[in-house]
Chains A and B, each alone.
Chain A
Amino acid sequence: MRVFFITLALFFTLVAGAQHTVTFENFNLPADSFLNNAGAAGGFESGAIFLPNDYNPDFDAWEGWAISTTTDTLTPGFTNQYSAIAGGGAEGSDTYAVTFASGPSIIQLQETAAGSMVEGMYITNSTYAYYSMLDGDAFAKKFGGETGEDPDFFRLTIKKYLDGQLSTDSVDFYLADYRFEDNNQDYIVDEWTFVDLSTLGPVDSLQFTLSSTDVGQFGINTPTYFCVDNIRLTEQTTSRPVLLSEAPLELYPNPAVNILLVDWPQEDAALSLINTQGQEVKRQLLQRGQNEVDVQALAPGSYWIQVRDDRQVWRAKSFVKR
């Protein structure tokens, strides 16, 4: 199974446009540290990539993405939640990104890069999830179960959004696979592994969904963490006629509590609110002039506003719901 989806060595040719590798080194993090709070920006920017982050200062808790240089490959458990099991970043680098999400995680391409090809990226397990699968913890089972024979797996499914549409195509990557007849072949990924995503074609954003055989009343028991580094992009100028431009709208107040006011200078269009998991949580008509968007029912966090009409899709700023 694994070989279908993973290319351990990367061979690719540039068809058009420039190639970029997003390494997360731009944060200049000191050794053994992490960033789990992107503040009002609602996410971390690195090159052409935007990683949504939702930090709750009341609880000192985060969801989405964090940036890390921690290298602890030995300590199991939640207290070591920012470490990659490979120790440090991919290809000998220091910095990498780690995600924790109860639903899907999203990686967005910045507006100028939207529609580019993501050739692939390095992925590995977090130390937390790795030891949870290897040895079990108070919640999650040791993979293989008590007999060692359970056909467990921890799978990452990657899909893309393009023009607001979620693809049906996907790439599966097994972060752990215990389904082999011969238990000696069972494995948990412990090295940075390049996952080829070129088959997805041009993307605006990528959606990552974890699934596990260890599921209970509280959902997935396996810690829903994994780590990413060195994302390779190729700008595809030929694949898309129009790059998204920022929608010419004004919005305020930001952050908003109950009502978000949106000034729209053009003909009728459709407005969508997208949460950090890439899900559309609200859609309404946008008319010329001032529009009221009721955001009272939304969960606190940051959201994207996307606007489209018959001819085009715009990309807009994010706003924060308090």
Chain B
Amino acid sequence: MYGHKLFFSLLFYFAGIAGLQAQADTSLLLPTLEVSATPLRSTAAGERTEQWDSAQIATYAHSSLGELLSRETGIFIKNYGAGSLATPSVRGGSAGHTAVVWNGFALQSPMLGLLDFSLLPTHFADDIELRYGGNSAGWGSGAIGGTIALRNRPAYRQPLSLTLRSLIGSFSRRDLQFQARYGSESIAGSTRLFHQQADNDFPYRIRPDLPERRQTNAAFRQRGLLQEFYWKLHPGQQLGLQVWWQEGDRDIPPLTTQTRSAASQKDKVLRSALHWRRNGPRSVLQARVGFFREYIDFRDELTGLRAESRFWSLVGEVEGQWQLTRSQQIQAGFNQTFTRAFADGYAEPPEQYQAAVFGAFRQKLGGWQLQISGRQGSVDGTLIPFVGSLGAEGKLLNWLSMRAKISRNYRLPTLNDRYWRPGGNPELKPEQGWSQEAGIQTNWTFDKHQFEYSITAFNRNIQNWILWSISGNANYWSAQNIAEVWSRGIEQRIGWTFSSGSFQTKISGGYDFIRSTNQQAIESPRIEAGSQLIYTPEYRAFGQLQLRWKGLEAAYQHSYTSEVSSLTEPLPGYQLGHLRLSYTLEGAPLGGALFFRIENLWDASYRIVERRPMPGRHYQTGLRLKFSQVNED
């Protein structure tokens, strides 16, 4: 039990910061440039996907990726509070079982294996795609529960536009964002800047009969820059440069079982990437290089504890895609990633070298698409298990389509799992296992009505799941491949859209049932065989009603999350509602929008994480101004 609390507290706080980085994993065809052929890797057959385009993202411009996903999907976001750590659980997986890929680079921290979604500003992406299920063959380590792709797109042939967004809200929330986009025939660029802050000193009650308290030491501040440049060197050849700089500073509020806190954490992130792409008549070639650096500085003024950690990674990747025949495509690539990490918990700064070759073959057969993919990776020269997938999708009837996929997936042990002292275990094996899923989807259109419905069932078994545990005669916590987790569930989505003239109504919703159980009893931490993982709700339901008339829009969102277990006690389920009203006036050269939001409309008292209060009803209002240069022609 040597110092395990320190370890866990560091782990916890570091997680609170976002480790991002590029793992050896990888990705594919970059969406950074205009694409003439659909990249194989970003459209694996047989998966369920959800996408948000720039217009949809715009309604979440002041939100983090965690907030977007918790409102628009069945994903459970374990959110420690506004501005605090937020990690996803997709299909009952752990926080490390979601791969986040930015223009082809995996962003999970190699030290923690996860990414803090509260540090991912949605407005830094031009589109966001969520693919459910395992896809390690395409995206490598961690693509087990799902993969989230954040993409930027060059704006060639677009006149200069300048957008300014601001928001003010309860608890001294202030946001300011600026974006400039410009694109000629052969050059495009975009500059995005943001600053946001909040005191976050919201009131809450432990119980209705007890006096109101106010959250303390909960302020946060974030600012960042995303700069992109793209050049068409040649009609079929493009070069892109992206630099993402971001820094965050947040106080870490006390738990409800804590008198006070004076802890804080700073995060600094630099992600830079160079992309090259060549489109041939029947092929696409891409190469990319990324350099990623992150730094976390945790301090606690009360205990005098200070813990700094940082890493840098260098990633290089080439990949190509060839059209063999009209109905056959093949794709292959190679990725190398070198990482070095620094923390007091390491004896020496660990280094990790990863390499992987990956490929896919896609065949069209009538209305069906089949895809087979594979990846062989190595870590520090040792081969890791081969992973692959087989997927198919197609139409059964004109209004009914179906998809199915089977895949083998893995997650590498993190650097902390391998090298943290005490307890790190360099001999850990990757977590790995098989996933299967199948689903059907229907679409009908009657007159001005459009309906859609889909149902998907999945099953996944993961072996060698890594837990920090005390076992045998050992008297300290160490990382071990001891758990086995069985996840299965059913996901349903329904939608109805009605359009008439300038009036549009949309109702959409989803209902997920997920069982994700430990199959082995473990003594310490105490886990019973067959028990649902902690912080993994069995049910999530969410829905949204949107009414739009000309520039006026009203949207109401509602969600239900069932009870979860936590480290010490069960947390009751809760329902949340949010209302948004906006008025948009599109125009050139000047356009704009005004919005007003009521968050937690019903003033629910709820907790996502035990001992972490969440704010009741609160308000936000904002303004968007857009200047666009008018084309003379």
A-side residues, CB < 8 A to B, are 54, 56, 58-59, 61-63, 75-80, 101-103, 134-142, 145-147, 214-219, 221, 223-224, 281, 297-299, 301
User: Are B470 and A102 neighbours in the complex by a CB distance under 8 Å?
Assistant: yes
User: Are B475 and A63 neighbours in the complex by a CB distance under 8 Å?
Assistant: yes
Tell me if B476 counts as interface (CB < 8 A to partner A): yes
Knowing A59-B2, A77-B304, A298-B473, the reply to whether A138 touches B9 (Cβ < 8 A) is yes
What are 11 A-B pairs at a CB distance below 8 A?
Answer: A56-B476, A59-B3, A59-B422, A61-B3, A77-B305, A80-B303, A101-B1, A136-B254, A138-B13, A138-B255, A147-B206
User: Are B421 and A142 neighbours in the complex by a CB distance under 8 Å?
Assistant: no
Q: State A272–B473 Cα separation when bound (angstroms).
A: 16
Tell me if B472 counts as interface (CB < 8 A to partner A): yes
User: Are B260 and A297 neighbours in the complex by a CB distance under 8 Å?
Assistant: no
User: Are B255 and A78 neighbours in the complex by a CB distance under 8 Å?
Assistant: no
Q: State A141–B567 Cα separation when bound (angstroms).
A: 12
B-side residues, CB < 8 A to A, are 1-6, 8-9, 12-13, 206-207, 210, 254-260, 263, 300, 302-305, 347, 421-422, 470, 472-476, 524-527, 534, 567-568, 611
Knowing A80-B303, A217-B527, the reply to whether A299 touches B8 (Cβ < 8 A) is no
Q: State the Cβ distance, B471 to closest chain A Cβ, in Å.
A: 10
B-chain residues with CB within 8 Å of residue A215 when the two chains form the complex: 568
B-chain residues with CB within 8 Å of residue A221 when the two chains form the complex: 568
Knowing A79-B303, A139-B9, the reply to whether A58 touches B422 (Cβ < 8 A) is yes
Knowing A59-B2, A135-B260, A299-B474, the reply to whether A79 touches B9 (Cβ < 8 A) is no
Q: State the Cβ distance, A272 to closest chain B Cβ, in Å.
A: 16
User: Are A217 and B1 neighbours in the complex by a CB distance under 8 Å?
Assistant: no
Q: State A141–B206 Cα separation when bound (angstroms).
A: 15
User: Are A136 and B257 neighbours in the complex by a CB distance under 8 Å?
Assistant: yes
Q: State the Cβ distance, A12 to closest chain B Cβ, in Å.
A: 36
B-chain residues with CB within 8 Å of residue A75 when the two chains form the complex: 302-304
A-chain residues with CB within 8 Å of residue B210 when the two chains form the complex: 147
User: Are A79 and B2 neighbours in the complex by a CB distance under 8 Å?
Assistant: no
Contact of A102 among B1, B6, B258, B472 (CB under 8 A): B1
7 A-B pairs besides A102-B470, A141-B257 with CB distance below 8 A are A76-B302, A77-B303, A79-B304, A80-B303, A102-B1, A217-B534, A218-B567
B-chain residues with CB within 8 Å of residue A138 when the two chains form the complex: 9, 12-13, 255, 258, 263
Q: State the Cβ distance, A99 to closest chain B Cβ, in Å.
A: 13
B-chain residues with CB within 8 Å of residue A76 when the two chains form the complex: 302-303
Contact of A78 among B256, B257, B303, B476 (CB under 8 A): B303
A-chain residues with CB within 8 Å of residue B258 when the two chains form the complex: 135-138, 141-142
Q: State the Cβ distance, B255 to closest chain A Cβ, in Å.
A: 6
Q: State the Cβ distance, B20 to closest chain A Cβ, in Å.
A: 23
Q: State A176–B611 Cα separation when bound (angstroms).
A: 22
Knowing A142-B258, A215-B568, the reply to whether A58 touches B305 (Cβ < 8 A) is no
Q: State A298–B475 Cα separation when bound (angstroms).
A: 11
Q: State A80–B302 Cα separation when bound (angstroms).
A: 11
User: Are B5 and A139 neighbours in the complex by a CB distance under 8 Å?
Assistant: yes
B-chain residues with CB within 8 Å of residue A63 when the two chains form the complex: 1-2, 475
User: Are A56 and B474 neighbours in the complex by a CB distance under 8 Å?
Assistant: no
Knowing A76-B303, A134-B259, the reply to whether A299 touches B5 (Cβ < 8 A) is no
A-chain residues with CB within 8 Å of residue B421 when the two chains form the complex: 58-59
Q: State A216–B524 Cα separation when bound (angstroms).
A: 10
Q: State the Cβ distance, B49 to closest chain A Cβ, in Å.
A: 35
Q: State A59–B420 Cα separation when bound (angstroms).
A: 10
Q: State A54–B2 Cα separation when bound (angstroms).
A: 10
User: Are B475 and A54 neighbours in the complex by a CB distance under 8 Å?
Assistant: yes
User: Are A59 and B476 neighbours in the complex by a CB distance under 8 Å?
Assistant: yes
Q: State the Cβ distance, A36 to closest chain B Cβ, in Å.
A: 11
Q: State the Cβ distance, B467 to closest chain A Cβ, in Å.
A: 11
Q: Which 10 A-B pairs have the closest CB atoms?
A: A77-B303, A299-B473, A61-B2, A136-B258, A102-B1, A141-B257, A59-B422, A135-B259, A216-B568, A146-B256
B-chain residues with CB within 8 Å of residue A299 when the two chains form the complex: 472-475
